[in-house]
Each structure stands twice: as C-alpha cells, then as structure tokens.
Structure 1
Amino acid sequence: MAARAPRPDPYGALGAGPSAGAAELRRRYRRLVRTYHPDRQSADAPAEAVEECVRKFIEIDQAWKILGHEETKKEYDLLRLEDDLRNLGPVDAQVYLEEMTWNEDDHCFSLSCRCGGKYRVSKDEAEEVTLISCDTCSLIVELLPRS
C-alpha cells in the first residue's frame, strides 16, 4: 500500500492551533494576507522572493477556505481527529451503528469496550466519523456504513 501524502495543515498556515476561535483565525488570516499579498510586494524584490510570497499567499487563502467557514472547519476537524485516531493504533473491531445502544440521557449511541469503558458517538457524529475511541483505553472501533 502506498503511503498517503500528508494533508496540508490549515492551522499551521495561519499560525494557529485547533483550539483557536473564529475571531482569532480571522485576525491571523487578515494579518497574513496583508503581509503576503502579491500586490504588497516590492517591485524590486527578487523573483524568488515574490514566488515564495505568492506560494505562501495561496497556502493562506486555501487554509482560510477551510477554517473560515463553520461547516468546512468542522469537516476538517473530524478528518484530523480520524487521522489522529488511525495513528494511535489498529482498529480493534468493526461495528454497525445498529449494534450500538441508544442512550436517551446522553443523546448518543454507545458500545461497551472489553476494558469496561464505552465507545460513544452522537447521532450527528455517526454520519461523519468512521473511527471511535474508547473513553478509558486506547482501543478503537470502526463504524461501518448502515447495512
């Protein structure tokens, strides 16, 4: 199996962490755009420096297209979480949502782990995530599409 190319990090492009709020991300984006916009570069700057600024500007713009909108940011954060879980270790089991128990009090589906902990996923998350980690150990289950 070929190795997957690393996913660009929009948080890194904006110099922010995943916990940064919308206002912080917007502030960082605007500051970086003012710095790297091609029209703001000196006319006598070396071609290599201008090319680097254009490359950086495009990277910043692409990051903002992901993190600047609540829905696309949420999708990216879920993909990032899934990648993090994949890197933790192998998938312990594959389950269908129908095999999990609906908990009305918590408004989530749950499944007991062999360690005694629980795998938990909300209705909304169940449609978007494929990996769920146990709340007390490092085991992971893969949530399969509805049968």
Structure 2
Amino acid sequence: MCETRDKDLYAVLGASPSDSVQQIRHRYQQLVLQFHPDRLGGECSSESASSMKFLEVDAAWKILKDQKTRREYDLKRREQELRQDWPEDSTVYLEDMAWNKDEQVYTHYCRCGGRFCVTKEEVEGAKIAQQDDEEEESKEGQHRGVIVCCDTCSLSVQCHMAV
C-alpha cells in the first residue's frame, strides 16, 4: 500500500482543509476516474505511476471521508505545524523585554513597528519545558526558548529566559 503519512492528504486530492466532505468526494471521484487501473486498460502495471497515484488518492479518501479520522488527521497535521522550527530573525532575552503591567505581557518591538509579546503563562510553560528538557539541550548544545511571532509582519524571534 502507498505511504501517505508524510504527504498532505488534502493536496493529494487537490482539496483544502476548509472543503466539505461533498467537495472532497467530488475531487476523489474525478481522480479515481483519471487514475483507476481498469480505466487505463492492460497497459497499467502495479508499479506504474498511475497505479501508485490511484492508491495514494484512495488512501487519502479513506481518511478524509470519515469525520472522526479526518479530525484526527487535522489535529496531527496542526501539531506537526506547531512543532516545526520557525525561521528566527533574532534572539531576544526576556530580561531585555519590557514588562507591561496593564496587558500582563513582556514586549519587544519589531523593526516594522509591530510587537513581539510573551505572556506570563507562556514564560512559565517554557521554563517548565526547559527544566524537563535540560539534559537533552546540554547534549545537543542548544538552548531553546519560546518562538514569538510579530503581531504585524512575518518575522519571529526566539525569546530566551533564565531557568
């Protein structure tokens, strides 16, 4: 069977996560008509690109047609997006950020005029995670903090904090 775990199942079907089941079914049916081995006649072997595409499309449909499996897939997909390393514009230390008592956030201004904001809860969560991962970080030689995105542009910074 074809491997679909590393592929975007929505892209396999030419759909998007906001599409309804009916829209995804329509895309699936179009692709099945295009790539089904019976439609291609005797020239299609099990190793051909069309057969592999058909298996890929069918596997994606089996996951996305059911509300429960689609929700599980969407959650795993979102988790993977959140775990990816974001490109960092620079590093900022929590001590260098301004504390805003009214909003209860640490703030650092971006070069675009926007702000990088870190809440007290995020700081506490990051400190706990750093303590849990302390041995791994010292082995890897990396010190991780919190990735914070600008509220105006696409830049992000890594905010380091003392444990």
- TM-score bracket relative to the smaller structure: 0.5 to 0.7
Q: Aligned partners of 2:76 and 2:56: how far apart in 1?
A: 19
Q: Which runs of 5+ in 1 are unaligned?
A: 1-5, 90-111, 120-132, 140-147
The structure with the largest alpha-carbon Rg is 2
Does the aligned pair in 1 maintain the 2:28–2:57 contact within 8 Å? yes
Displaced runs of 4 or more, over 4 A = 112-119, 136-139
Written as runs of structure 1 = structure 2, the 5 A alignment for 1:1-147 is 7-43=6-42, 45=43, 51-89=48-86, 115=117
| Counterpart Cα distance in 1 of 2:66 and 2:119 | 35
For residues 15-42 of structure 1, the C-alpha deviation after alignment (integer angstroms, 9 at most, x for no partner) is: 1111111111000001111111100003
User: What RMSD in Å do the two structures reach over aligned CA positions?
Assistant: 3.3
The match for 2:97 is none
Over 3 Å counting, the alpha-carbon distance change for 1:57 and 1:83 in structure 2 is same
In structure 2, relative to structure 1, the CA distance for the partners of 1:65 and 1:56 (3 Å cut) is same
Q: Distance in 1 between matches of 2:105 and 2:21?
A: 36
Q: Compared with structure 1, are the counterparts of its residues 46 and 56 closer, same or farther at alpha carbon in structure 2 (3 Å cutoff)?
A: closer
